[in-house]
């Protein structure tokens, strides 16, 4: 099995997923797991495993958030975001 398949098998099997490191190390030895995976289990350090799998660090995008509440345009008197209503002009209305 390759490393990904072994990780999937461990994830599917609760007895492996929650096994002590020594027990899991024996299982990985019998399965001829990669040195990086065995080191990750034995040492609790996933850096070698990350390198084996080609992990690339992902930084969150540096975006500027939209306007904050205090930057929003003035709202109507009732605070609903609509402009205050004006009474209709004479002669203008429903037909």
Q: Would the pLDDT of 74 be above 90?
A: no
Quick one: pLDDT band at residue 38, thresholds 50, 70, 90?
very high
Do 8 and 31 form a contact (C-beta atoms < 8 A)?
Answer: no
pLDDT score at 31: 92
In the predicted model, what is the mean pLDDT of the chain?
79
Do 17 and 11 form a contact (C-beta atoms < 8 A)?
Answer: yes
16: which 2 tokens?
A: 């492996």
Quick one: pLDDT band at residue 49, thresholds 50, 70, 90?
confident
Instruction: Please state the pTM of the whole predicted model.
Output: 0.53
Q: Which residue has the higher pLDDT, 47 or 56?
A: 47
37 CB-near residues (< 8 Å, 6+ apart): 3, 6, 7, 28, 49, 52
Eight-class DSSP state of 2: -
CA 79/CA 66 separation, integer angstroms: 20
């Amino acid at each position: 099995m390759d490393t990904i398949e072994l990780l999937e098998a461990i994830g599917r099997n609760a007895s492996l997923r929650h096994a002590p490191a020594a027990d899991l190390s024996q299982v990985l030895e019998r399965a001829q797991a990669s040195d990086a995976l065995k080191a990750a289990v034995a040492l609790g350090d996933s850096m070698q495993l990350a390198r084996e799998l080609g992990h690339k660090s992902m930084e969150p995008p540096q975006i500027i958030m939209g306007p904050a509440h205090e930057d929003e345009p003035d709202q109507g008197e009732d605070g609903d975001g609509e402009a205050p209503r004006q009474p209709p002009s004479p002669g203008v209305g429903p037909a």
